[in-house]
């Protein structure tokens, strides 16, 4: 069907407007970045019980295990509970994101260990630093999950289960030793100590070889203390008797 010239012009104009509107809105829909995930919680200690499912007694016991582990080996272990991991697809994804945000473990997060429990999803996960994999092996993680984490989640006994989990992980983790010096070394400190000691020894021997310097009152008796030309108290003044011409006091 052939449209009249007038209608054809109207159709072309409408098509142009539709294309212009589509071009204006297309970049926003095609290139719009996905919205950021919900903000992650902040740490509140070795036991970050955001889900509030760990009793105080068990929380104190878990904290004691974590403190003792860090004192012995330098490894930082954190136990975390959250109500839900949404919108993260799994507890592992959530744990990895949380581990990175909290910067767990010293030496560039290589000596850290985190256990996460999501109450609503009934899931658990672990996040480890790179230097922890040789001691917290897949076998260890599997045994800990099977023996402690899974039963705790199924029965709802989170405090006891997480405490036993912390103890089971701390046992192999304490084999790690951070080789960090307790005091910072100063470059060239040994050279300065040697030089200072040498100078002190030379000065000491020079000082003991000069008894006149060690006994200033003896120098006064010898007529040397006030310098040359005076000869002591009796030299220049001719003695008390000579200075009065023998007349004495009347």
At 78, which CATH number?
Answer: 3.10.310.50
The answer to the question of residue 92 being in a domain is: yes
Q: Tokens 């984490």 belong to which residue? A: 149
Q: State whether 106 and 201 are in the same domain.
A: no
The answer to the question of residue 169 being in a domain is: yes
Q: State whether 59 and 150 are in the same domain.
A: yes
pLDDT tens figures, 81-122? 999 999 999 999 999 999 999 999 865 678 999 999 999 999
The answer to the question of residue 68 being in a domain is: yes
The answer to the question of residue 36 being in a domain is: no
Q: State whether 67 and 145 are in the same domain.
A: yes
The answer to the question of residue 4 being in a domain is: no
Q: Tokens 């100590």 belong to which residue? A: 193
Calpha distance 36→96 (Å, rounded): 16
76 φ, ψ to 5°?
Answer: -100, 120
Let me know if 27 is exposed, middle or buried by CB neighbors in 10 A (0-12, 13-18, 19+): exposed
pLDDT tens figures, 9-23? 555 455 554 544 444
At residue 5, the pLDDT reads: 52
Q: State whether 73 and 118 are in the same domain.
A: yes
Q: State whether 158 and 56 are in the same domain.
A: yes
The answer to the question of residue 111 being in a domain is: yes
Q: State whether 159 and 104 are in the same domain.
A: yes
Calpha distance 70→107 (Å, rounded): 13
Domain with 123 in it: 47-173
Assess contact for 75 and 67: CB atoms under 8 A: no
In angstroms, the Cα distances linking 74 to 87, 130, 172 are 33, 14, 13
For the chain, what is the domain count? 2
Q: State whether 60 and 166 are in the same domain.
A: yes
Strand pairing class (47-49; 76-82): parallel
- Number of Cβ within 10 Å of residue 135's Cβ equals 18
Q: Which residues contact 153 (CB under 8 A, 6 or more apart)?
A: 117, 122, 123, 124, 161
Q: Under the phi-then-psi rule, with left for phi > 0, alpha for psi from -120 to 50, and beta for the rest, what region is 108?
A: left
pLDDT tens figures, 16-69? 545 444 444 444 433 333 344 578 999 999 999 999 999 999 999 999 999 999
Sheet of 123-128, strands arranged across: 47-49, 76-82, 112-118, 123-128
What is residue 126's three-state secondary structure?
Answer: strand
Banded pLDDT at 200 (limits 50, 70, 90): confident
Q: State whether 168 and 202 are in the same domain.
A: no
Calpha distance 141→131 (Å, rounded): 15
Q: State whether 54 and 99 are in the same domain.
A: yes
Q: State whether 145 and 222 are in the same domain.
A: no
Calpha distance 34→145 (Å, rounded): 34
């Amino acid at each position: 069907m052939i449209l009249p010239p007038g209608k054809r012009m109207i159709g072309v104009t409408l098509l142009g407007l539709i294309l212009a509107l589509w071009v204006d809105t297309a970049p926003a829909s095609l290139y719009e970045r996905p919205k950021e995930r919900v903000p992650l919680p902040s740490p509140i200690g070795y036991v970050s019980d955001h889900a509030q499912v760990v009793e105080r007694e068990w929380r104190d016991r878990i904290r004691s295990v974590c403190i003792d582990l860090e004192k012995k080996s330098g490894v930082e272990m954190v136990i975390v509970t959250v109500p839900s991991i949404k919108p993260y697809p799994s507890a592992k994804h959530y744990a990895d994101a949380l581990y990175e945000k909290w910067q767990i473990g010293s030496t560039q997060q290589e000596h850290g260990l985190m256990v996460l429990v999501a109450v609503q999803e009934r899931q658990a996960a672990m996040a480890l630093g790179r230097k922890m994999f040789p001691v917290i092996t897949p076998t260890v993680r599997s045994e800990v999950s099977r023996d402690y984490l899974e039963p705790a989640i199924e029965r709802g006994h989170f405090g006891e289960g997480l405490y036993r989990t912390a103890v089971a992980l701390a046992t192999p983790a304490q084999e790690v030793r951070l080789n960090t010096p307790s005091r910072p070394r100063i470059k060239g400190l040994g050279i300065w100590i040697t030089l200072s000691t040498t100078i002190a020894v030379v000065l000491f021997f020079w000082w003991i070889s000069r008894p006149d310097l060690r006994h200033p009152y003896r120098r006064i008796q010898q007529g040397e203390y006030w310098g040359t030309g005076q000869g002591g108290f009796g030299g220049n003044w001719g003695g008390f008797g000579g200075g009065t011409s023998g007349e004495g006091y009347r």
